[in-house]
Structure 1
Amino acid sequence: MRIEKEYRIFEDIEEVRIFNATKKDFYKPTPKEFDVEDMPFQELLNNVSTEIHSFIPYENGKDFIIQRLGTFTLNKYNSKPKDAMGRRLSKISPLFFDILHEYFLEVYESHTPKKIRFVYYNGKKLTKLSTAKIVFDMDRIFVVTNNVDTATNRRVDADYRTFDEDKTNMMENFSQTGSYYKVHGKYVWSQGVYNIINRAKEDSDDFYNIVFDLVIPEDQHIVDKIFYLTNNETSQCGEVIRIRTANGVMKVIEVNIYSYFDDSGIIIRQGLINDITQRSDYGLSKPVDFLMDGFKNSKKLALLIEPLSKKQYEFSKGFYYMIEKDYGDYNHSRKIMKNIVEKDVVKNLNKLINGELDKIDEVLTFKVDGNSNNKKIVELYIERFNYNNEVHSLGFLTDVTEDIEKQDKLVASNEQKVVLIKEIHHRVKNNLQVLNSFLNLEKRAYKNDPDLIIEHMQTRLTSLALLHEKTYGTKDFVNINLKDYLVDHDMKTEGFMELPSQVEFETIVDEDLNLSIEVITPLLLIIDELTMNAIKHAFPDNTATDNKITKQITKLNEGDARLIIKDNGVGIPDSKSISKNLGCEIIKSLTSQLGGKISLIECEKGTAYELIFPIRMDHTIN
């Protein structure tokens, strides 16, 4: 058994620590020596939550006669009130007499109350805690005791935990720190402390220092120094000590302890614990940080610990992927903000750093190494908060470059679809208007030959339908490959037109000739008109063979192309008369719309036309 006494100056309380005492040390049955009266309101005193003991001074305080012991104490020693009343304290409990006599005598002589805290240990485990107040009244010494049951797992003094526990746990996980509060002799430990000492919470942790309990013998003198300094000389103390965890791992920790009074005058002792093993000379790695480990493989998401601090920051690997720097090559400073494009974001960041804002939530453009050709779009969230009377910060950085690009493409695609729909409606409307004009002209010219009108209209409709199928299916109005188109066009024309026997279509087109829809629409209708004229007039002999209609389209230069369409038929006996018919008027109108120039060319057999036309025209879609 060992007894330690210490006056805790900042709490203004005497602390008595009793180690490894047994019931026999505290209580020895003794015969009654004095007759004493019961205290008034005895039944009431038996039913209050605190214990009240009463002692009558004997021989001017040389000893004290027990008038009453509290129910908790009597039950602890399996005794009844009659077993304690009328006995001297020095005989029934020599241990308590040795501990309390000087305090009782001081209060008896000065009539000034005194506070004592009793802390009972079995080994290093706290087994009982009680706070007592000694007062003198009615010529008696009264001891009012509040006993704490250390077997409960009840959280105590939670009102003193004014910080955000979720943020605190995250901060402590990443920075390998922990903290505790000690109020009324009871401890409140943060999760970070349990991470450092590598164990889960136990029921009795509220009642002893679970960190100092692990200090190696070589550093025990430092713990003694901490207790002495914080109890007697200063309200602040910082030391470095070594502990050995339950699983045998030795760690180097930095301990900072502060004592202060709350608004009610209650003494609060706060301890901050930092695992500095990795930074110490012992070369031991710190425990796996599970939260940081969860971010280690992410290139698009970064966790920022203390991003507003130049010295104590810690960022997950995603940050270094985003700025495209190695961990060892990066020095954290405000210089990184020079690479942010948006000036208003930089302004808000400076306000956050200076304490004018509590948090920012921004989307910004970051130039990697200041390179305008290497930009990334990131979401940045940083929050400032107070923890342990200091300002801390926590943030997240998310690379949304690809997401923004996909979003922009989706928006552009939706806008393009709207434009395409409008363009399709516009084209269909224009083409129908053209066909309607041709129909009206032919109704007047060929009123006696309705089958010819229908055949011509069918040819034009088929050509435009083919154009719609090939262009609107690919959503490309600018680059229509003419050769692919005309091959299909010949096949469809052969399928529906009533051709003379053995008429062959031959089409020769440059492979890389791509035209816009503004060019190919009138060009196609011109080809239709010339083809229909050739079929109608070039081959009057239905028994003739080797009839051919040839189309050759070549690229002359970057701006112009040439169409030569000819047949090997009977030719035109009077070229002047042909220029005055309806078909020729339609061709001239379409050639004007195309911005081209058409002419009849001489050939040994048959008829041939040459059309020079531009490859590009202004397009309605920007």
Structure 2
Amino acid sequence: MKMYKDYRRLENIDELRIYDINEKELYNPTPLEFHVDEVPYPQLISNIPMDVNILIPHNDGNDFIIKSAGNFILNQGNLQLDDVRGRLLSKVSPVLYEIFHESLHEVYKSQETKVIHVFYYGTEKLSKITIVKILYEMNRIFVFADHINTDKGTSDEFEKIQYAEDKVNMMEYFTQTGSYRRIDGKYTWTQGIYNIINRPREDYDDYHNIVFDLAIPEDKELIERILKIMDTDTTHHEDLIRIKTEDGTLKYLEINLYSNFDENGNLISRYGLFNDVTQYSKKSMTKPVDFLLQGFKNSKKLALLIEPLNPKHFEFSEGFYYFINKNPKDYVHSRDVINNIVEDETKKQIIRLIEGELDRIDETFTYNVNGDENNQKICELYIERFEFSKKNHSLGFLSDITDEMNKQRELRESNEHKVMLIKEVHHRVKNNLQILNSFLNLEKRVYSKEPNVIIDHMQTRLTSLALLHEKTYNTQDLKNINLNEFIEDQDSQIRNIVSMDNSVEFESIVDEDLNLTIEVITPLLLIIDELNMNALKHAFPDETIKNKKITKIITKIDENTLQMTFKDNGVGIDNPKKISKNLGCTIIKSLTKQLGGEIELVEYKNGTEYKLTFPIKMVHTIHG
């Protein structure tokens, strides 16, 4: 069972979406534990056209004794009331306890009535809707549940709700903020629309376009033209309009309209997306997702693919278009691009991924640029499917390894060992990208309401890996890579990313003759990234303070061991135990383990200090 919870502020209700519940697990046979009085007027309660459940708070509301249960629970298990009465809810129905315990406890403590809309899904299809009302009276919890049938005869309106809600989640992922659906002249608006136009929902909103009605006079004619086009045979239109809300606020809206027609060309329905881009109105029109793509800007070797399996809503960095030798404005995303792949097995794997038969692919293949067999490139492609807001999405990386493969062929003729070195580096870069995906999945759960934090962290790590990718392919000796050069470039990159204008000084003291293997440098750079991000986020809450400084000192302890001291002159840490449990520290500990080292937080009066001790050489697969 999976469960998702949302709060609808204007309606003051909770929404629960329950997936793949096994109704046979709703009842767990349990011996009688408590003797409770029979419910008065049982005949009356049984004839009320909804379930009435009566619960007695137990253990300060952490559990509840069942006094009476409605027909829903009883009918599912072919039960009598005596089978559940006098039992703890947590024991007799662990599933219902998991779903409703938090709300029941809240009503018990606050004694305020609560309304919940519960949507039950089976195999992603809406199967049941229950409107639940929980109230407290006479030291009892009363749960009224009205179950709504969602078969084909009655589910149309609720399918619209499901469709709209799922689209809202999709738009949040793509930084869209509101949508509507129009069928037979009637509108269904998502909550995001009301956030855009700065007002609550009204009863008459179903009968006119509440966004277009607010358009400024200069854009009225544009909207009329758009709607006229969309009423014919145009299925999609994008544009930019300006509206003035009822409180006088001017807003810029990016609009995407989609029309559905029957076989005779008659308009059936329309779906619209609205994205408030007011904050970018005096700049270039850029979505927050573009900041993630900026980490790959001007990179011709490595491309980031956001939603590569979606033919309409996708974002690719510049490296992809350089690889296929196409102008982004001229490119149409479709399966046709697969036809230029030489290897048939790779084509089959990509098709299986598109059809949903595979969760990920990791392929190396040859590509005929524009179908020309005399102009070939070799690349590595990694694409992974993942679930977000009950929808499947995809993220991928495309690496142009043509030059590297050519170097391998040249090296193979003179030195077979050199070829193995290049393969090893390539394998490690690929593994690092997969580690990056793991960090992304972790942070999606922790920072689900702070997408900009995910983007900032992602960009910092991507920049370090791109730096590593570039430098390692330009070196001839992968066992002796100069650490000082990497640290200097990493400091320069993070200054550019955080745009601090040197308000934080990065000081690095590293032995110029200190050379390490790629196995050591890779996790070390990522650890430094995490420490930098933690310091920038927590050490300097007062932006007006001057002389802010982050210092790294890397020295030899002996011939086999190095020590890095990382410190800042910020506000320090009040509770070391608390910070040791956050996600950043968890990632640092994982990378330190990969490095084979140890890290400790040092008592430091004027800021925060870490000491990382690690071996100069690691057990690895690059042999001399």
**TM (normalized to structure 2)?**
0.33
**TM (normalized to structure 1)?**
0.33
